[in-house]
Amino acid sequence: MNSSTLPKAISLGFCTFDLDVEALLAGELIALPAKKFLRSGQCFALIPVFSGDLIERNYYHPNSPSFSPLSHPQNGTDSIQIKGWVECRDCEIVEPSDLDTLAQATIWTPQGLREHLQDRPYLFLAYFRVYELPKVLEIPTLGDLRETVGDFVRLEDAIAISPNHPILTEEVFQQRCQQLQQRQPAPLPEIVPSAPPEPPEPPSPPPADQNTPTPPPTPVILEERDWKERIAETGNSSQGHEFEKLVRQSLLFLGFRNTNPTPKANLDPNSTGGAGGADFYADYPYSIVGECKATKSEKVRNKVTSQLIHLGVTQLTQQEFDQSLKLICAAGKLTPDAEQAAKEHKMNVIRPETLENLVKLKAEYPGSIDLWKFKKWLEKQPFGEASDEKIQGYIREVSISLEIRFHLVQLIQEINEPAGLEYIRGKYDSSSPPQPLSEEQLRDILIELTSPLTGYLGWEKTADGGRRFYRLRSFDQV
């Protein structure tokens, strides 16, 4: 979301501990644990919640520069100070097994992060672009908010906002997002003065010491404009190295990760595989390896497919390569020899335009891309050039799934009262739906939409043990 599409005022606040607020406004933090999945583009005022004895309870790492005794309010105050607001840019599902690694890249300890889990099977981590308000606002206290940490509350009066006072430049923010996604400790922050934004200067490296790693340079692919808009254009050019970086960035954005430190087989978007290295390799949530070929008009020759096989068995073990999905990202048509090799070795071909559409779908609807379902599409025939249409089929399936849910929520809003399954079924069938649904499919989707993790519909039990559904919010609302 660019600054021209941001709301002019916000009426929701996100509750988090006061020390987290201080760290966000100091540029030491760009993400917060959330109780539910947040959509990209949602904006919240930062509501500080008294942290009490969290430092003594080993909730935070003790060496954060924000942890001065006077940096947070005392308990029992009659008002709340609001110093900034945030725009959600992404939301990541973090498994409990990843909390120790996440703690190394944040201000929280593993113990502190586990407190957010409670009875939930995983943690939501919301990535926030942080902005400072021109002046501190005071609002009446909202009561005891400790139970709402990680959730949002509705404000009595809307707060006017402006994107003119970002804490970090867009380039530095994107770099920090990459570092956090890769679980790299963040460097010392580079803060932007509270003034109308000027063209950003290149970020300065932090002071060298034994505890602060030197951050990777900001990738060139992020300097001109939003990298998601450049995938197809760059793939249809002669900029091979830049296209490789964009493909790596795309895979990271979709949720792939790499625990392999080998520079010849990784996902670092600040570098390329180089001579003798695979263009990209991920081993989480499953293994995928591939080659990129940016072209204006020339065909993709068999050298690309043979190179993928050679580099795969050179930089990976034979077992790792055999178990990996193979992917060629290229705009040009494959020669007959390359096409035959791609089919024989079950290599998928994805065009830059298709990859860009996949990334944009994820950006607009962060929870829409299920990598395990995507894996099933990549594993099935056809392979070679025809596999791009197969991947487009997956994108169409996800888009139709979203349209069905939009349609149902809108339909139940129009009914304007709690309605049973049979009544909704009749209305759905007569409303020119995106796709016919069986009664079982309709029931499953309605139940999914009532989940606390989505919260679009509510339901009540009827006297005969059935359910009646009603709308809680539309898709364009929090």
- Same domain for 329 and 184: no
- Same domain for 86 and 40: yes
Distance CA 405, CA 409 (A): 6
Tell me the residue range of the domain where 116 lies. 3-192
| Threshold 0.75, pTM exceeds | no
Asked if residue 197 belongs to a domain, the reply is no
Q: Please enumerate, as own/partner, the contacts of 456-461 that have beta carbons within 8 Å and a separation of 24 or more.
A: 456/405, 456/409, 457/409, 457/412, 459/418, 460/418
Asked if residue 134 belongs to a domain, the reply is yes
Asked if residue 207 belongs to a domain, the reply is no
- Same domain for 266 and 135: no
Asked if residue 160 belongs to a domain, the reply is yes
H runs (alpha helix) in 105-212:
110-117, 170-181
Helix (H), strand (E) at residue 23: helix 18-25
Asked if residue 115 belongs to a domain, the reply is yes
Closest CA to 54 of 188, 186, 146: 146
What is the total count of domains within the chain? 3
- Same domain for 339 and 414: no
Q: Where among 326, 353, 385 does a domain terminate?
A: 385
Query: Which residues, at least 6 apart from 346, have a Cβ–Cβ distance to it below 8 Å?
Result: 326, 383
User: Distances from the Cα of 428 to the Cαs of 319, 425, 438, in angstroms?
Assistant: 49, 5, 11
- Same domain for 372 and 245: yes
- Same domain for 450 and 345: no
Closest CA to 34 of 113, 130, 143: 113
Asked if residue 441 belongs to a domain, the reply is yes
Tell me, rounded to whole angstroms, the distance of Cα 72 from its chain centroid: 30
- Same domain for 358 and 445: no
- The pLDDT profile of the chain, 478 residues, written as one tens digit per residue, is 555 567 788 999 999 998 899 889 888 899 999 988 888 889 999 999 887 767 667 788 765 544 443 334 444 456 788 999 999 999 998 888 888 889 888 888 888 898 888 777 888 999 999 999 988 888 887 667 777 898 988 888 889 998 888 988 888 898 889 889 888 765 544 433 333 333 344 444 444 444 433 333 333 334 334 899 999 999 998 888 899 999 999 999 999 998 776 777 778 887 665 555 788 999 888 999 999 998 867 788 888 888 888 877 777 888 888 889 999 999 988 999 999 999 999 999 999 999 999 999 998 888 889 999 999 999 999 999 999 999 999 999 999 999 999 899 989 888 888 989 889 989 999 988 888 999 889 988 888 888 766 778 888 888 888 888 888 877 654 4
CATH code: domain of residue 378: 3.40.1350
Distance CA 328, CA 305 (A): 8
Side-chain-side CA neighbours of 132 within 13 Å: the count stands at 21
CB–CB of 294/336 below 8 Å? no
Asked if residue 426 belongs to a domain, the reply is yes
Helix (H), strand (E) at residue 289: strand 288-293
